[in-house]
Copies of this chain bind each other. A is one copy, B any other.
Amino acid sequence: MRLIFIGDVVGRIGRKVVCRELPRLCERVSPDLVVVNGENAAGGFGITEEIFHELRDAGADVVTLGNHAWDQKEALVFIEREPRLLRPLNYPAGTPGRGAGLFDTASGKTALVINAMGRLFMDPLGDPFEAIEREVEACPLREACDATLVDFHAEATSEKMALGHFLDGRASLVVGTHTHVPTADYHVLANGTAYMTDAGMSGTYDSVIGMDPAEPITRFTRKIPTGRLAPAKGEGTMSGVAVETDDATGLALRIGAIRVGGALEPALPSFWLEEPAEAP
């Protein structure tokens, strides 16, 4: 199976680059499953129903969220009727929406997608390890689904890498979000789980995590907020990750970075794009 995950879409610039580049990429590589983190899609803060559909139209089979899930209050309502919008699993019982779902792909496969939030340096939710374990045990890879993809929205690299190893052999992909910076540590772990500490954001990197630098710099240097945080202007980058799984096991064969547009060094999953050498 071919899995694509795109990191936190930030504001209009993020949506623009994703809506332009994701369909193009999907057309080239025909992924089985596309998951997009949309927690910052509405002006940097949360998501609206309209924007959710925009991301769906661009190719997202499932949209995940994070600590900004509820910045737009309407998300608390429309998430109830959108099974393809996931919020972190480890919110308290009674929170609107779901944190995991089993989805049928167009190619006739099934994929378990989980969204959870870390706790180190973040607002404390329920234990993400325990919550994810429960979902994964209830729907084991290969026995009950063809792929398992976990979007772990967390700050600390240690918590993310620990989750990767915790799930190694039981998930197809563990990918981090939230720091808004793509990492270059993507690789397949010893037991077959593809891992990447952070998918990066989809937005402009001429910024401070997607936002105009002036206000963050003021806050760091003067310690007095002077205005609001607003998405930076500039050219957007779509940032994410591509994973090829083994149909027999659901585990990962290859993982590669996706970076299209903007200031960063471009990257595409070459293993899906390079033509095999032609026979003479």
Q: Which residues of A contact B (CB under 8 A)?
A: 70, 76, 91-95, 119-121, 123-127, 129-130, 155-159, 161-163, 165-166, 179-187, 189-190, 197-198, 200, 205-209, 213, 216-217, 220-225, 256-257, 259, 263-265, 267
Contact = CB atoms under 8 A, between A and B. Distances in A.
5 contacts: A70-B225, A95-B224, A159-B220, A162-B217, A165-B208
Given A70-B224, A224-B70, A184 B184 contact: yes
A145 to B, nearest CB: 23
Contacts of A221: 92, 127, 129-130, 166
Given A95-B224, A184-B264, 11 more contacts: A76-B224, A94-B222, A124-B125, A129-B217, A159-B220, A162-B220, A165-B217, A184-B184, A184-B200, A184-B257, A187-B265
A213 B166 CA distance: 8
Contacts of A166: 217, 220-221
Contacts of A190: 206
Contacts of A119: 124
Sorted nearest first, the 7 A-B pairs with minimum C-beta distance are A124-B124, A165-B213, A119-B124, A184-B184, A161-B208, A182-B184, A121-B121
A162 B223 contact: no
A181 B198 CA distance: 9
Given A95-B223, A221-B130, A222-B92, A181 B189 contact: no
B216 A162 contact: yes
A263 B194 CA distance: 12
A255 B188 CA distance: 27
The interface centre, meaning the residue of A92, A157, A162 with most chain B CB atoms within 10 A of its CB, is A162
